A and B are shown apart, each in its own frame.
Chain A
Amino acid sequence: MSRAALLLLLAAVGCHYHRDTNAPGVIDPATPPRDPTHYGLEYPGDPGERMVTVTSGVLGGGGFGGVDDGGFGDFAAEATVSWGENATTHNDAESRLFMPRGVLLPSRSWGVTLGWSALRLGEDGTGDVEARRGPVYVEAQRAWLFAGVGAGWALDPRTGATGPQVQGFYTFYFARLRYLAGGDGGWEFSGGMQLKFPTTWVWRR
Protein backbone atom coordinates (compact mmCIF):
# COMPACT_ATOMS: atom_id res chain seq x y z
CA MET A 1 0.00 0.00 0.00
CA SER A 2 2.68 2.47 0.99
CA ARG A 3 4.72 1.45 -2.06
CA ALA A 4 1.74 2.20 -4.34
CA ALA A 5 1.27 5.55 -2.65
CA LEU A 6 4.95 6.33 -3.16
CA LEU A 7 4.73 5.38 -6.84
CA LEU A 8 1.68 7.60 -7.26
CA LEU A 9 3.51 10.46 -5.57
CA LEU A 10 6.55 10.01 -7.84
CA ALA A 11 4.32 9.92 -10.92
CA ALA A 12 2.77 13.22 -9.91
CA VAL A 13 6.10 14.98 -9.44
CA GLY A 14 6.76 17.68 -12.03
CA CYS A 15 3.12 17.79 -13.12
CA HIS A 16 0.37 20.33 -12.71
CA TYR A 17 -3.34 19.75 -12.45
CA HIS A 18 -6.10 22.14 -13.44
CA ARG A 19 -9.11 22.70 -11.22
CA ASP A 20 -12.07 24.49 -12.78
CA THR A 21 -12.93 26.51 -9.67
CA ASN A 22 -13.53 30.22 -10.50
CA ALA A 23 -13.09 29.36 -14.20
CA PRO A 24 -15.10 32.26 -15.72
CA GLY A 25 -13.07 35.26 -16.85
CA VAL A 26 -13.54 38.97 -16.25
CA ILE A 27 -16.19 40.86 -18.23
CA ASP A 28 -18.61 43.75 -17.96
CA PRO A 29 -21.94 42.27 -19.08
CA ALA A 30 -23.45 45.72 -19.46
CA THR A 31 -21.10 46.56 -22.31
CA PRO A 32 -21.48 45.07 -25.81
CA PRO A 33 -18.52 43.14 -27.22
CA ARG A 34 -15.74 45.10 -28.92
CA ASP A 35 -16.58 43.54 -32.29
CA PRO A 36 -20.37 43.23 -32.36
CA THR A 37 -20.33 41.30 -35.64
CA HIS A 38 -18.08 38.52 -34.32
CA TYR A 39 -20.05 35.29 -34.13
CA GLY A 40 -18.95 33.64 -30.92
CA LEU A 41 -17.76 34.45 -27.46
CA GLU A 42 -15.38 37.31 -26.91
CA TYR A 43 -12.40 36.06 -24.92
CA PRO A 44 -12.83 37.48 -21.43
CA GLY A 45 -10.25 39.34 -19.35
CA ASP A 46 -7.68 37.30 -17.47
CA PRO A 47 -8.27 37.12 -13.69
CA GLY A 48 -4.88 35.44 -13.09
CA GLU A 49 -4.48 32.18 -11.22
CA ARG A 50 -3.89 30.72 -7.79
CA MET A 51 -2.07 27.54 -7.01
CA VAL A 52 -1.00 25.16 -4.31
CA THR A 53 2.37 23.60 -4.93
CA VAL A 54 4.05 20.70 -3.21
CA THR A 55 7.74 20.82 -3.98
CA SER A 56 9.86 17.92 -2.85
CA GLY A 57 13.33 16.68 -3.49
CA VAL A 58 16.85 16.35 -2.23
CA LEU A 59 19.64 18.78 -1.42
CA GLY A 60 23.32 18.00 -1.41
CA GLY A 61 26.30 20.11 -0.51
CA GLY A 62 28.74 20.92 2.20
CA GLY A 63 29.55 23.44 4.83
CA PHE A 64 31.55 24.30 7.91
CA GLY A 65 30.95 25.24 11.50
CA GLY A 66 29.32 23.60 14.49
CA VAL A 67 31.07 20.45 15.59
CA ASP A 68 32.52 20.03 12.10
CA ASP A 69 34.93 22.94 11.96
CA GLY A 70 36.89 21.07 9.31
CA GLY A 71 33.88 20.97 7.04
CA PHE A 72 31.09 18.51 6.46
CA GLY A 73 29.01 17.04 3.70
CA ASP A 74 25.29 17.37 4.02
CA PHE A 75 22.50 15.57 2.20
CA ALA A 76 18.95 16.55 3.00
CA ALA A 77 15.40 15.84 1.94
CA GLU A 78 12.85 18.64 1.82
CA ALA A 79 9.20 19.11 1.09
CA THR A 80 7.56 22.50 0.72
CA VAL A 81 3.88 23.24 0.59
CA SER A 82 3.25 26.70 -0.84
CA TRP A 83 0.34 28.87 -1.84
CA GLY A 84 0.90 31.37 -4.60
CA GLU A 85 -0.52 33.45 -7.37
CA ASN A 86 0.26 34.47 -10.91
CA ALA A 87 -1.14 37.73 -12.25
CA THR A 88 -1.45 36.07 -15.66
CA THR A 89 -2.96 32.66 -16.30
CA HIS A 90 -0.39 30.24 -17.69
CA ASN A 91 -0.98 28.83 -21.14
CA ASP A 92 -0.11 25.19 -21.75
CA ALA A 93 -0.04 25.88 -25.49
CA GLU A 94 2.93 28.24 -25.19
CA SER A 95 6.42 26.89 -25.66
CA ARG A 96 8.75 26.68 -22.70
CA LEU A 97 11.94 25.14 -23.98
CA PHE A 98 14.06 25.07 -20.85
CA MET A 99 11.31 24.10 -18.46
CA PRO A 100 9.42 20.81 -18.54
CA ARG A 101 5.89 21.42 -19.74
CA GLY A 102 4.41 19.98 -16.58
CA VAL A 103 6.34 22.25 -14.23
CA LEU A 104 4.32 25.23 -13.09
CA LEU A 105 5.54 27.64 -10.44
CA PRO A 106 3.86 30.67 -8.92
CA SER A 107 5.46 34.04 -9.54
CA ARG A 108 4.89 34.85 -5.84
CA SER A 109 4.21 32.38 -3.07
CA TRP A 110 4.26 31.73 0.65
CA GLY A 111 5.08 28.28 1.93
CA VAL A 112 6.16 25.99 4.71
CA THR A 113 9.18 23.74 4.33
CA LEU A 114 9.88 20.60 6.29
CA GLY A 115 13.40 19.28 5.91
CA TRP A 116 15.82 16.79 7.33
CA SER A 117 19.57 16.77 6.95
CA ALA A 118 19.37 12.99 6.73
CA LEU A 119 23.05 12.32 6.16
CA ARG A 120 25.85 14.36 7.63
CA LEU A 121 29.42 13.36 6.77
CA GLY A 122 32.06 14.80 9.08
CA GLU A 123 35.30 13.97 10.74
CA ASP A 124 35.04 11.82 13.84
CA GLY A 125 38.09 13.31 15.62
CA THR A 126 40.48 10.52 14.60
CA GLY A 127 40.62 11.55 10.95
CA ASP A 128 38.01 9.10 9.78
CA VAL A 129 34.80 10.11 8.09
CA GLU A 130 31.79 9.65 10.28
CA ALA A 131 28.26 9.39 8.92
CA ARG A 132 25.49 10.57 11.19
CA ARG A 133 22.04 12.05 11.07
CA GLY A 134 21.68 15.82 11.12
CA PRO A 135 18.98 18.24 12.24
CA VAL A 136 15.37 18.38 11.17
CA TYR A 137 13.98 21.81 10.43
CA VAL A 138 10.82 23.69 9.60
CA GLU A 139 10.82 27.00 7.74
CA ALA A 140 8.43 29.63 6.49
CA GLN A 141 9.27 30.40 2.89
CA ARG A 142 8.73 33.33 0.56
CA ALA A 143 9.47 32.57 -3.08
CA TRP A 144 9.48 34.39 -6.39
CA LEU A 145 9.40 31.88 -9.25
CA PHE A 146 12.85 30.22 -9.11
CA ALA A 147 14.20 32.13 -6.11
CA GLY A 148 13.25 32.40 -2.48
CA VAL A 149 14.19 32.86 1.14
CA GLY A 150 13.18 30.95 4.21
CA ALA A 151 13.53 31.29 7.96
CA GLY A 152 12.69 28.80 10.65
CA TRP A 153 13.85 26.53 13.39
CA ALA A 154 16.13 23.48 13.44
CA LEU A 155 16.47 20.68 15.95
CA ASP A 156 19.16 18.04 16.08
CA PRO A 157 17.45 15.00 17.64
CA ARG A 158 20.82 13.33 18.19
CA THR A 159 22.23 16.04 20.46
CA GLY A 160 19.13 18.00 21.40
CA ALA A 161 20.72 21.19 20.03
CA THR A 162 18.16 23.62 18.65
CA GLY A 163 18.10 27.07 17.10
CA PRO A 164 17.14 29.31 14.19
CA GLN A 165 18.16 28.96 10.57
CA VAL A 166 17.76 31.00 7.40
CA GLN A 167 18.01 29.75 3.86
CA GLY A 168 18.09 31.25 0.40
CA PHE A 169 17.84 29.57 -2.97
CA TYR A 170 17.99 30.38 -6.62
CA THR A 171 17.10 27.69 -9.17
CA PHE A 172 19.32 24.70 -8.31
CA TYR A 173 21.48 26.44 -5.72
CA PHE A 174 20.94 27.05 -2.04
CA ALA A 175 22.78 28.51 0.94
CA ARG A 176 21.84 28.02 4.59
CA LEU A 177 22.96 29.62 7.86
CA ARG A 178 22.04 27.92 11.12
CA TYR A 179 22.76 28.44 14.82
CA LEU A 180 22.20 25.52 17.15
CA ALA A 181 22.40 26.10 20.91
CA GLY A 182 23.37 23.23 23.22
CA GLY A 183 24.92 19.87 22.48
CA ASP A 184 27.46 20.05 19.64
CA GLY A 185 25.85 23.21 18.37
CA GLY A 186 27.12 26.59 17.23
CA TRP A 187 27.10 28.47 13.95
CA GLU A 188 27.17 26.50 10.75
CA PHE A 189 27.03 27.56 7.15
CA SER A 190 26.25 25.25 4.28
CA GLY A 191 25.40 25.43 0.62
CA GLY A 192 25.09 23.31 -2.45
CA MET A 193 22.62 22.17 -5.02
CA GLN A 194 19.01 21.17 -4.72
CA LEU A 195 16.89 19.03 -6.98
CA LYS A 196 13.28 19.71 -6.09
CA PHE A 197 10.30 19.17 -8.33
CA PRO A 198 6.90 20.76 -7.94
CA THR A 199 3.47 19.21 -8.17
CA THR A 200 0.94 21.99 -8.65
CA TRP A 201 -2.82 22.31 -8.44
CA VAL A 202 -3.93 25.46 -10.24
CA TRP A 203 -7.19 27.34 -10.65
CA ARG A 204 -8.27 30.82 -11.68
CA ARG A 205 -8.55 33.71 -9.26
Chain B
Amino acid sequence: MARVVTVVRASALSTWAGDLTRPAPLIAAATLAINDHALKGAGLLPAAVTGKLSDVAGLFLAGIVGVCLVRGAAAAGTGRRARRDGPLAIVTLVAIALAFSALKLWPAFNRALTATWGANALDASDLWCLPMLALAGVWLRDREAAAGPANPPRFATALALTGALLLCAATPAPPPVPPPPVAGWYAADAALPVACGVVQAWFSKSGKTGAGVTIAVTRTGDAPACVATITAARLRFADGSVDGRVVEQPAPVGRRAATTDPRDRSPYDALGYVGFTFDNEARWNRGDRTAVLELELIVAGEPRTWAVPAKHTMLTFPIGGDR
Protein backbone atom coordinates (compact mmCIF):
# COMPACT_ATOMS: atom_id res chain seq x y z
CA MET B 1 0.00 0.00 0.00
CA ALA B 2 1.39 3.33 -0.94
CA ARG B 3 1.88 5.89 1.83
CA VAL B 4 1.16 9.47 1.13
CA VAL B 5 3.48 11.72 3.06
CA THR B 6 2.61 15.35 3.32
CA VAL B 7 5.63 17.58 3.73
CA VAL B 8 4.73 20.72 5.60
CA ARG B 9 7.12 23.62 5.72
CA ALA B 10 8.12 24.65 9.25
CA SER B 11 7.41 28.28 8.48
CA ALA B 12 3.87 27.56 7.21
CA LEU B 13 1.31 29.43 9.30
CA SER B 14 -0.63 26.33 10.28
CA THR B 15 2.56 24.65 11.51
CA TRP B 16 3.41 27.17 14.19
CA ALA B 17 0.01 28.75 14.88
CA GLY B 18 -2.25 25.75 14.31
CA ASP B 19 -2.46 25.12 18.07
CA LEU B 20 -4.67 28.16 18.41
CA THR B 21 -7.51 26.36 16.62
CA ARG B 22 -7.64 23.71 19.38
CA PRO B 23 -10.52 23.78 21.88
CA ALA B 24 -8.49 24.80 24.96
CA PRO B 25 -7.11 28.10 23.61
CA LEU B 26 -10.42 28.81 21.87
CA ILE B 27 -12.29 28.38 25.16
CA ALA B 28 -9.73 30.61 26.91
CA ALA B 29 -10.13 33.24 24.19
CA ALA B 30 -13.91 33.08 24.43
CA THR B 31 -13.75 33.36 28.23
CA LEU B 32 -11.45 36.37 27.93
CA ALA B 33 -13.68 38.04 25.36
CA ILE B 34 -16.93 37.46 27.25
CA ASN B 35 -15.43 38.47 30.59
CA ASP B 36 -13.62 41.58 29.34
CA HIS B 37 -16.34 42.91 27.10
CA ALA B 38 -19.59 41.67 28.68
CA LEU B 39 -19.19 40.57 32.29
CA LYS B 40 -16.88 43.29 33.62
CA GLY B 41 -18.96 46.07 35.06
CA ALA B 42 -22.25 44.31 34.24
CA GLY B 43 -22.88 43.45 37.87
CA LEU B 44 -23.57 39.77 37.13
CA LEU B 45 -20.45 38.59 38.92
CA PRO B 46 -18.44 40.23 41.71
CA ALA B 47 -15.67 42.51 40.45
CA ALA B 48 -13.16 40.31 42.26
CA VAL B 49 -14.20 37.33 40.11
CA THR B 50 -14.29 39.15 36.76
CA GLY B 51 -10.95 40.79 37.58
CA LYS B 52 -9.21 37.46 38.15
CA LEU B 53 -11.03 35.56 35.39
CA SER B 54 -9.34 37.72 32.76
CA ASP B 55 -5.95 37.05 34.31
CA VAL B 56 -6.61 33.30 34.46
CA ALA B 57 -7.86 32.97 30.88
CA GLY B 58 -5.52 35.66 29.56
CA LEU B 59 -2.35 34.13 30.98
CA PHE B 60 -3.22 30.69 29.62
CA LEU B 61 -3.94 32.17 26.19
CA ALA B 62 -0.93 34.51 26.28
CA GLY B 63 1.35 31.57 27.05
CA ILE B 64 0.15 29.62 24.02
CA VAL B 65 0.09 32.67 21.74
CA GLY B 66 3.58 33.66 22.89
CA VAL B 67 5.02 30.22 22.18
CA CYS B 68 3.25 30.11 18.80
CA LEU B 69 4.74 33.48 17.80
CA VAL B 70 8.23 32.53 18.96
CA ARG B 71 8.00 29.24 17.08
CA GLY B 72 6.91 31.17 14.00
CA ALA B 73 9.83 33.57 14.31
CA ALA B 74 12.25 30.68 14.87
CA ALA B 75 10.89 28.83 11.83
CA ALA B 76 11.20 31.95 9.69
CA GLY B 77 14.75 32.51 10.88
CA THR B 78 16.15 28.98 10.86
CA GLY B 79 13.70 27.10 8.64
CA ARG B 80 13.33 24.47 11.35
CA ARG B 81 10.39 23.61 13.54
CA ALA B 82 10.95 24.44 17.20
CA ARG B 83 9.44 22.14 19.80
CA ARG B 84 6.45 23.35 21.77
CA ASP B 85 8.10 22.18 24.99
CA GLY B 86 11.69 23.03 24.08
CA PRO B 87 13.99 25.61 25.68
CA LEU B 88 12.63 28.38 23.45
CA ALA B 89 9.08 27.73 24.66
CA ILE B 90 10.15 27.61 28.32
CA VAL B 91 12.08 30.87 27.98
CA THR B 92 9.00 32.44 26.38
CA LEU B 93 6.71 31.34 29.21
CA VAL B 94 9.19 32.56 31.84
CA ALA B 95 9.49 35.90 30.03
CA ILE B 96 5.70 36.29 30.04
CA ALA B 97 5.64 35.43 33.75
CA LEU B 98 8.32 38.04 34.48
CA ALA B 99 6.56 40.70 32.42
CA PHE B 100 3.24 39.95 34.14
CA SER B 101 4.91 40.09 37.57
CA ALA B 102 6.53 43.41 36.72
CA LEU B 103 3.16 44.73 35.53
CA LYS B 104 1.55 43.79 38.84
CA LEU B 105 4.38 44.75 41.22
CA TRP B 106 6.47 47.51 39.67
CA PRO B 107 4.62 50.87 39.72
CA ALA B 108 6.85 52.54 37.10
CA PHE B 109 6.45 49.63 34.67
CA ASN B 110 2.71 49.52 35.32
CA ARG B 111 2.39 53.27 34.66
CA ALA B 112 4.39 53.02 31.43
CA LEU B 113 2.36 50.10 30.13
CA THR B 114 -0.92 51.60 31.29
CA ALA B 115 -0.10 54.76 29.35
CA THR B 116 0.52 52.87 26.12
CA TRP B 117 -1.66 49.78 26.39
CA GLY B 118 -4.57 50.50 28.71
CA ALA B 119 -5.42 50.47 32.39
CA ASN B 120 -4.12 47.51 34.35
CA ALA B 121 -4.43 47.14 38.10
CA LEU B 122 -1.23 47.18 40.16
CA ASP B 123 -2.35 44.25 42.28
CA ALA B 124 0.09 41.74 43.73
CA SER B 125 -2.72 39.27 44.39
CA ASP B 126 -3.05 38.79 40.60
CA LEU B 127 0.21 36.84 40.79
CA TRP B 128 -1.83 33.89 42.08
CA CYS B 129 -2.87 33.44 38.43
CA LEU B 130 0.73 32.78 37.30
CA PRO B 131 0.32 28.96 37.48
CA MET B 132 -1.87 29.31 34.37
CA LEU B 133 1.37 29.77 32.44
CA ALA B 134 2.58 26.42 33.80
CA LEU B 135 -0.72 24.93 32.70
CA ALA B 136 -0.16 26.40 29.23
CA GLY B 137 3.29 24.78 29.27
CA VAL B 138 1.78 21.39 30.18
CA TRP B 139 -0.82 21.77 27.45
CA LEU B 140 1.87 22.62 24.90
CA ARG B 141 3.93 19.62 26.01
CA ASP B 142 0.92 17.35 25.53
CA ARG B 143 0.33 18.89 22.12
CA GLU B 144 3.93 18.21 21.18
CA ALA B 145 3.53 14.59 22.20
CA ALA B 146 0.17 14.12 20.46
CA ALA B 147 0.48 16.31 17.37
CA GLY B 148 0.22 14.42 14.10
CA PRO B 149 1.28 15.53 10.66
CA ALA B 150 -2.17 16.96 9.82
CA ASN B 151 -2.42 20.70 10.21
CA PRO B 152 -5.61 22.76 10.39
CA PRO B 153 -6.67 24.84 7.39
CA ARG B 154 -4.65 28.01 6.92
CA PHE B 155 -7.75 30.22 7.04
CA ALA B 156 -8.92 28.80 10.38
CA THR B 157 -5.40 29.21 11.78
CA ALA B 158 -5.12 32.81 10.57
CA LEU B 159 -8.54 33.57 12.04
CA ALA B 160 -7.64 32.03 15.40
CA LEU B 161 -4.27 33.81 15.53
CA THR B 162 -5.79 37.19 14.66
CA GLY B 163 -8.57 36.76 17.21
CA ALA B 164 -6.18 35.67 19.95
CA LEU B 165 -3.82 38.58 19.29
CA LEU B 166 -6.68 41.07 19.30
CA LEU B 167 -8.10 39.68 22.52
CA CYS B 168 -4.69 39.71 24.22
CA ALA B 169 -4.09 43.31 23.15
CA ALA B 170 -7.57 44.81 23.55
CA THR B 171 -7.79 44.86 27.28
CA PRO B 172 -10.69 47.02 28.44
CA ALA B 173 -10.31 49.61 31.14
CA PRO B 174 -11.45 48.15 34.44
CA PRO B 175 -14.30 49.91 36.19
CA PRO B 176 -12.98 52.87 38.15
CA VAL B 177 -12.00 52.14 41.72
CA PRO B 178 -12.04 55.10 44.11
CA PRO B 179 -8.61 55.84 45.56
CA PRO B 180 -7.95 55.37 49.29
CA PRO B 181 -9.15 58.14 51.62
CA VAL B 182 -6.59 60.86 52.21
CA ALA B 183 -6.24 63.79 54.58
CA GLY B 184 -7.21 67.14 53.11
CA TRP B 185 -8.35 70.64 54.00
CA TYR B 186 -12.00 71.30 53.35
CA ALA B 187 -14.18 74.42 53.45
CA ALA B 188 -17.83 73.61 52.90
CA ASP B 189 -19.48 75.56 50.06
CA ALA B 190 -17.65 78.84 50.60
CA ALA B 191 -19.37 81.50 48.48
CA LEU B 192 -19.21 85.28 48.83
CA PRO B 193 -21.96 87.26 47.04
CA VAL B 194 -20.61 90.48 45.50
CA ALA B 195 -22.30 93.22 43.50
CA CYS B 196 -21.32 91.79 40.12
CA GLY B 197 -21.61 88.09 40.92
CA VAL B 198 -20.31 85.42 43.29
CA VAL B 199 -16.80 84.60 44.51
CA GLN B 200 -16.15 81.01 45.48
CA ALA B 201 -13.11 79.54 47.24
CA TRP B 202 -12.17 75.91 47.72
CA PHE B 203 -9.15 73.92 48.76
CA SER B 204 -7.83 72.49 45.54
CA LYS B 205 -4.57 71.10 46.96
CA SER B 206 -3.67 69.69 50.35
CA GLY B 207 -0.66 67.65 51.35
CA LYS B 208 2.31 67.22 53.64
CA THR B 209 3.94 70.52 52.69
CA GLY B 210 0.93 72.80 52.67
CA ALA B 211 -2.30 73.53 50.88
CA GLY B 212 -3.68 75.54 47.97
CA VAL B 213 -6.90 77.45 47.47
CA THR B 214 -8.63 78.18 44.18
CA ILE B 215 -10.66 81.38 43.95
CA ALA B 216 -13.32 81.52 41.26
CA VAL B 217 -15.47 84.42 40.14
CA THR B 218 -18.83 83.94 38.49
CA ARG B 219 -20.58 87.11 37.31
CA THR B 220 -24.32 87.48 37.30
CA GLY B 221 -25.99 87.26 33.92
CA ASP B 222 -26.27 90.97 33.13
CA ALA B 223 -23.05 92.21 34.73
CA PRO B 224 -20.59 93.43 32.07
CA ALA B 225 -17.53 92.27 34.06
CA CYS B 226 -16.59 91.03 37.50
CA VAL B 227 -12.91 91.65 38.12
CA ALA B 228 -11.33 90.36 41.34
CA THR B 229 -7.87 90.89 42.79
CA ILE B 230 -6.47 88.95 45.73
CA THR B 231 -4.57 91.42 47.92
CA ALA B 232 -3.84 89.07 50.84
CA ALA B 233 -4.52 85.50 51.93
CA ARG B 234 -3.87 83.83 55.27
CA LEU B 235 -4.55 80.52 56.98
CA ARG B 236 -5.10 81.37 60.62
CA PHE B 237 -4.52 78.56 63.13
CA ALA B 238 -4.94 78.60 66.88
CA ASP B 239 -1.20 79.20 67.32
CA GLY B 240 -0.54 81.65 64.48
CA SER B 241 -1.08 82.15 60.79
CA VAL B 242 0.52 81.29 57.46
CA ASP B 243 0.56 83.84 54.65
CA GLY B 244 -0.48 82.57 51.28
CA ARG B 245 1.38 83.33 48.07
CA VAL B 246 -0.80 84.38 45.18
CA VAL B 247 0.39 82.20 42.32
CA GLU B 248 -2.26 83.26 39.84
CA GLN B 249 -4.58 86.22 40.13
CA PRO B 250 -8.15 85.48 39.04
CA ALA B 251 -7.83 85.61 35.28
CA PRO B 252 -10.61 85.27 32.69
CA VAL B 253 -11.05 81.69 31.54
CA GLY B 254 -13.50 82.36 28.75
CA ARG B 255 -16.69 80.85 30.09
CA ARG B 256 -18.66 82.43 27.33
CA ALA B 257 -16.00 82.07 24.67
CA ALA B 258 -17.14 80.30 21.53
CA THR B 259 -15.96 76.71 21.68
CA THR B 260 -17.13 73.50 20.13
CA ASP B 261 -15.88 71.19 22.88
CA PRO B 262 -18.01 71.46 26.04
CA ARG B 263 -15.06 70.20 28.09
CA ASP B 264 -13.21 73.42 27.25
CA ARG B 265 -15.98 75.51 28.74
CA SER B 266 -15.39 76.64 32.28
CA PRO B 267 -18.37 77.37 34.54
CA TYR B 268 -16.40 80.33 35.96
CA ASP B 269 -15.51 83.72 34.52
CA ALA B 270 -12.18 84.01 36.32
CA LEU B 271 -9.94 81.67 38.32
CA GLY B 272 -7.00 82.32 40.64
CA TYR B 273 -4.82 80.27 42.98
CA VAL B 274 -3.13 80.89 46.33
CA GLY B 275 -0.53 78.49 47.75
CA PHE B 276 0.19 78.07 51.48
CA THR B 277 3.52 76.45 52.28
CA PHE B 278 3.81 75.06 55.83
CA ASP B 279 4.41 71.79 57.66
CA ASN B 280 0.92 70.47 57.23
CA GLU B 281 1.92 66.93 58.17
CA ALA B 282 3.22 68.06 61.57
CA ARG B 283 -0.02 69.96 62.20
CA TRP B 284 -2.03 66.91 61.22
CA ASN B 285 0.01 64.59 63.42
CA ARG B 286 -0.37 66.80 66.47
CA GLY B 287 -4.13 67.13 65.91
CA ASP B 288 -4.13 70.79 64.86
CA ARG B 289 -6.86 70.36 62.27
CA THR B 290 -8.95 73.54 62.15
CA ALA B 291 -8.18 76.95 60.66
CA VAL B 292 -9.79 80.01 59.18
CA LEU B 293 -9.04 80.95 55.59
CA GLU B 294 -8.85 84.76 55.46
CA LEU B 295 -9.00 86.41 52.05
CA GLU B 296 -8.71 90.10 51.25
CA LEU B 297 -10.10 90.87 47.84
CA ILE B 298 -10.93 93.79 45.64
CA VAL B 299 -13.98 92.87 43.60
CA ALA B 300 -15.26 95.36 41.03
CA GLY B 301 -13.26 98.08 42.79
CA GLU B 302 -14.74 97.28 46.21
CA PRO B 303 -12.45 95.87 48.99
CA ARG B 304 -13.84 92.82 50.73
CA THR B 305 -12.59 90.71 53.62
CA TRP B 306 -13.73 87.13 53.76
CA ALA B 307 -13.19 84.55 56.50
CA VAL B 308 -13.96 80.92 55.74
CA PRO B 309 -13.79 78.21 58.43
CA ALA B 310 -11.84 75.18 57.28
CA LYS B 311 -11.02 71.79 58.70
CA HIS B 312 -8.41 69.18 57.97
CA THR B 313 -10.04 65.78 57.77
CA MET B 314 -9.92 62.39 56.09
CA LEU B 315 -11.66 62.72 52.73
CA THR B 316 -13.16 59.99 50.61
CA PHE B 317 -12.86 60.49 46.86
CA PRO B 318 -14.40 61.47 44.59
CA ILE B 319 -15.55 64.56 46.45
CA GLY B 320 -17.10 67.75 45.11
CA GLY B 321 -17.34 67.30 41.37
CA ASP B 322 -17.20 69.73 38.53
CA ARG B 323 -19.56 72.66 38.80
Contacts and interface: CB of A to CB of B under 8 A. Distances in A.
A29 B275 contact: yes
A129 B312 CA distance: 65
B314 A31 contact: no
6 contacts: A20-B284, A29-B209, A32-B214, A38-B204, A94-B123, A98-B125
B179 A96 contact: no
Contact of B267 (A26, A32, A37, A43): A37
Contacts of B275: 29-32
A41 interface: yes
B105 interface: yes
Given A24-B208, A97-B48, A40 B273 contact: no
B314 A23 contact: yes
Given A37-B322, A40-B202, 8 more contacts: A26-B208, A33-B204, A37-B271, A41-B184, A41-B203, A41-B205, A91-B179, A95-B51
A39 B321 contact: yes
B48 A93 contact: no
Contact of B323 (A39, A93, A94): A39
A22 B273 CA distance: 25
B122 interface: yes
B121 A94 contact: yes
A97 B49 CA distance: 7
Contact of B208 (A25, A39, A145): A25
Interface stretch (B17-25, B26-34, B223-231, B245-253): B245-253
Nearest to B189: A39
B184 A24 contact: yes
Given A41-B186, A93-B177, A96-B123, A32 B207 contact: no
Contacts of B124: 107, 145
Interface in A1-59: 20-33, 36-45, 47
B207 A25 contact: yes
Nearest to A47: B208
A56 to B, nearest CB: 21
B211 interface: yes
A95 to B, nearest CB: 4
Interface in A94-125: 94-99, 107
A28 B208 contact: no
A203 to B, nearest CB: 10
A57 B248 CA distance: 58
A27 B182 contact: no
Interface size class of A (residues with CB under 8 A): 35 or more
A121 B248 CA distance: 76
B60 interface: no
A89 B181 CA distance: 10
Nearest to A48: B107
A29 B47 contact: no
A41 B280 CA distance: 15
Given A41-B186, A96-B125, A29 B205 contact: yes
A23 B284 contact: yes
Contacts of B273: 32-33, 36
A24 B245 contact: no
Given A20-B314, A97-B48, A98-B52, A32 B322 contact: no
Given A29-B212, A41-B315, A96-B48, A89 B180 contact: yes
B48 A39 contact: no
In the A-B complex, the 10 residue pairs with the closest CB atoms: A40-B320, A27-B207, A29-B210, A95-B48, A23-B183, A32-B273, A98-B128, A96-B125, A29-B275, A97-B48
A92 B180 contact: yes
A41 B310 CA distance: 13
A22 B284 CA distance: 7
Interface string B189-215: 000000000001011111111111010
Of A22, A32, A37, A92, which is in contact with the most chain B CB atoms at under 10 Å from its CB? A37
Given A33-B273, A41-B315, A96-B48, A27 B247 contact: no
A91 B177 contact: yes
A158 interface: no
Interface string A161-187: 000000000000000000000000000
Contacts of B212: 27, 29, 31-33
Contacts of A93: 177-178, 180
Contacts of B185: 41
Given A32-B212, A37-B266, A95-B47, A87 B107 contact: yes
Nearest to A86: B124
B51 A97 contact: yes
A132 interface: no
A20 B245 CA distance: 28
B281 interface: yes
B153 interface: no
A44 B125 contact: no
